[in-house]
Amino acid sequence: MAAVGMVQVLGYPAALAVADTLVKAARVTIVSCEGIGAGYWTVVIRGEIAAVNAAVQAARSLPGQAVISHQIIAHPDGNLEQVLPVAVPHPPLEDFLL
């Protein structure tokens, strides 16, 4: 995985809509969806740079003001996974399909 994408939204329904859009727009994996306080939620994804970029752009195009802020980190340093929750927690589902 070559990129990490983060999308911040206000409200849990917006977080669900953004998470759904992210995974439908490109081949990315949701790493986490966490409430960070005051109603704000952050959805973190991993994938190839182009896929993460496409997914975040699709989320930004949702109607209304769903996305508060976003960030894409291409080629994150390996140390980042030790400090922040950006590692993929389990193998993708495709690894288990026959």
Per-residue confidence (pLDDT) for residue 81, from 0 to 100? 73
pTM score of the predicted model:
0.83
Report residues of the chain scoring pLDDT below 50: 96, 98
* Token output for 9: 């939204």
Per-residue confidence (pLDDT) for residue 70, from 0 to 100? 97
How far apart CA 8 and CA 64 sit, in angstroms, is 14
* Chain centroid to CA 48: 12
Per-residue confidence (pLDDT) for residue 80, from 0 to 100? 79
* Token output for 68: 């508060």
Domains of the chain and any CATH numbers: 3-79 (3.30.70.1710)
How far apart CA 52 and CA 72 sit, in angstroms, is 7
Alpha carbon dihedral 25, 7, 47, 55, in 10-degree steps, equals 20
Per-residue confidence (pLDDT) for residue 26, from 0 to 100? 97
